[in-house]
Amino acid sequence: MVEEESHGGPVANAVFDYDAELRRYQPLLREAFDVRADDHVLDIGCGAGRTTRESARLATGGGALGVDVSAAMVARARELAAAEGLDNVRFEQADAQVHPFPSERFTLGTSRFGTMFFADPVAAFTNIGRALRPGGRLVQLVWQDSGEQEWVAAIQGALAGRDPAPVPPAAGGPFSLADPATVDGVLTAAGFTDVSVNDVREPVYYGADADAAADAVLALRMASEAFVRFDAGEAERALDRLRAVMAGHSTVDGVWFDSRAWLVTARR
């Protein structure tokens, strides 16, 4: 998929390809989702819908709904599903925190890094829980602490030109569900049971070579937010540092960094 994360900076229209970045997580997610033929799947923060489409292909007697707050992502997801000829998948532009989902409609809730951005996580997961049938499963992948992420240290270090400060696990940010006790507390308060938080580690991919990887990073919010503060000289130096860091992680298979996530499962 491509992501519309760009907010300015030297590659103002750059896009980020999450499907490429997260490809090594896909097999373990497929196993954890364990989609059955009769499942009705709700994919939260679906982006361009890679995981939604995969679930729809397996839920041959059911189907999948992907929701994302971004209109551009939903449009892209619809295009990709139509190109594949899938007729049991739908996408809606919706804020999963408050969207009036049909009550007890879905047997399985899924998310690949789409549930960390809620301003009020308990309210959001309560809303999602209402959409799941009693006994339905919720399976999601969320980032562990920013300090555990080689990709964060590399990118932020390159942007800052020094060792980066840890990103605080603020509500609404990518590391908001990094603390297992928080995850357990939020999901329990939202009415879920059998919460399980499992350590998973896979490398993430940024591009075929250092230049491609640096360009990809520029599409990320953390880069564009830094670049809008730089003058021309600082921007050039930051780009040089970014390319050097990417070159340092370049392999014959492209540019990779270690990452750590939590695979979180729970039952409604």
Ligand X SMILES: C[S@@+](CC[C@H](N)C(=O)[O-])C[C@H]1O[C@@H](n2cnc3c(N)ncnc32)[C@H](O)[C@@H]1O
Which residues in this chain contact ligand X in the complex, by CB under 6 A? 1, 18, 22, 45-47, 50, 67-70, 73, 95-97, 112-114, 117-118
Smallest distance, Å, CB 115 to ligand X?
Answer: 8
Nearer to ligand X (CB atom), residue 96 or residue 242? 96
Q: Which is nearer to ligand X, 75 or 212 (by Cβ)? A: 75
The residue among 128 and 210 lying less far from ligand X, judged by its C-beta, is: 128
Report, in Å, the least distance between residue 101 CB and ligand X: 11
User: Does residue 18 contact residue 26 with C-beta atoms inside 8 Å?
Assistant: no
Nearer to ligand X, 98 or 189 (CB): 98
CB-CB contact of 147 with 178 (8 Å): no
**Min dist. Cβ of residue 81 to ligand X (A):** 14
Both tokens of 208, joined, read: 């075929």
Residues 62, 66, 71, 72, Cα dihedral to 10°:
-100
Q: Which is nearer to ligand X, 67 or 255 (CB)?
A: 67
Looking from the CA of 100 toward its CB, the CA atoms found within 13 Å total 0
What is the rounded CA–CA span in Å between residue 227 and residue 182? 32
Which residues are CB-contacts of 148 (< 8 A; sequence separation ≥ 6)? 260
Long-range Cβ contact pairs of 167-172 (< 8 A, separation 24 or more)? 169/145, 171/118, 171/119, 171/120, 171/121, 172/117, 172/118, 172/119
Q: Output 25 or 192, the one with its CB closest to ligand X.
A: 25
Work out how close the CB of 29 gets to ligand X at its nearest, in angstroms, rounded to a whole number: 9
* Closest separation in Å from C-beta 190 to ligand X: 14
Minimum distance between the CB of residue 238 and ligand X, rounded to whole angstroms? 23
The SS3 call for residue 61 is: coil
Q: Are 263 and 110 in contact (CB under 8 A)?
A: no
DSSP structure string for 186-239: HHHHTT-EEEEEEEEE--EEEESSHHHHHHHHHTSHHHHHHHTT--HHHHHHHH
> 50-58 and 26-33 are packed helices; what angle lies between their axes, rounded to 10 degrees?
40
Q: Which helix (H) or strand (E) holds 135?
A: strand 132-143
* Between 186 and 210, CB nearer to ligand X: 186
Task: Output the smallest distance, CB 77 to ligand X, in A.
Answer: 9
